[in-house]
Amino acid sequence: MARRGKKKGRPVNGWLILDKPAGMGSTEAVSKVKWLFKAEKAGHAGTLDPLASGMLPIALGDATKTVPFVMDGAKVYRFTVAWGEERSTDDLEGPVVESSDRRPGEEEVRGLLPRYTGIIMQTPPQFSAIKINGERAYDLARGGETVEIAAREIEIGRLDLLEFTPDRAVFEVECGKGTYVRSLARDMGRDLGCFGHIAELRRTEVYPFTPEQMVDLPPLEEAAEAAHAEEGDFAPLDDALLDVATALEGLPEIAVNDDAAARIRLGNPVIVRGRDAPVEAPEAWASARGRLVALGVVEAGMFKPKRVFAA
């Protein structure tokens, strides 16, 4: 029987809210952070295009178990649309495929915004990670194929016009999972009859994280260089991490004692106690001494664990 190799890296757990620089891909950013922290496991909660900057929540260790809760959270983007050209990628990267000398007026743009709020249908860009017959749409597009991507339902909480010039407009959008900001720029340009594409894109929030929690890459690199040189002093790096449970804001928290926590970690249900404790909850988390014990559900006054966390 083959022997399992030892895990590489430290068992570090928590969320790093990276301010990703433009020009770096999300996968590249995760790999970089994983190496800086010498972490066993890492992942991100929501791809951010290489040309975009801003908030990229990166989960280390046990935090990867809470990624779905962040993926489902609302996101806020600030973006600039350049009028007059539509591009194959709907941003600056691709060649021009349509152009127009027409430029919209400010009131014309403002009048369009209600059509892009609420529940709307949106067609993702040709250059996207959507799978078509098992292949990524961007791979097919790079191969010269024009693919048919079905429109899908998305939710836009708000869309505000922040700045306006005849050639460009700056917007801020709060949106739900699956929204493509590049598609917003493309579709608004088409509706206005002038075409448009993303000239600048920055993600400023991913619920439940806040802009104040973002960390720049250079200070992390400096701290990691010192940690690697001193062979193990990772405290300055680890101080940048948020607790794993930060991702669970908004879910019911079930506080339990040490005995109940031990039973939960063995996969057993426990009675939910407390005057304000929920009787039913499709998603909840149990904590002991302020630390995350398990994710689960509450049914008939019982917390039933689905995913447990090490003590």
Pairing label, strands 135-136, 131-132: antiparallel
Catalytic residue among 19, 49, 91, 101: 49
Tell me, yes or no, if the two domains 14-72+209-244 and 79-189 fold the same way.
yes
CATH superfamily of 79-189: Pseudouridine synthase (3.30.2350.10)
pLDDT at 100: 97
3-state helix, strand, coil in the chain (%, to 5): 25, 35, 40
Is 49 assigned a catalytic role?
Answer: yes
CA distance 296 to 309: 11
Task: State the pLDDT confidence band at 310, using cuts at 50, 70 and 90.
Answer: confident
CATH classification number, 14-72+209-244, choose in 3.30.2350.10, 3.90.1580.10, 3.10.20.80, 3.40.1410.10: 3.30.2350.10
CATH superfamily of 251-308: PUA domain (2.30.130.10)
Is residue 1 over pLDDT 50?
A: no
Task: State the pLDDT confidence band at 9, using cuts at 50, 70 and 90.
Answer: confident
Per-domain boundaries in the chain: 14-72+209-244, 79-189, 251-308
219-249 per-position pLDDT tens digit = 999 998 888 776 668 888 999 999 999 999 9
Q: Is 133 left (phi over 0), alpha (psi -120 to 50) or beta?
A: left
194-227 per-position pLDDT tens digit = 999 999 999 999 999 999 999 999 999 999 888 8
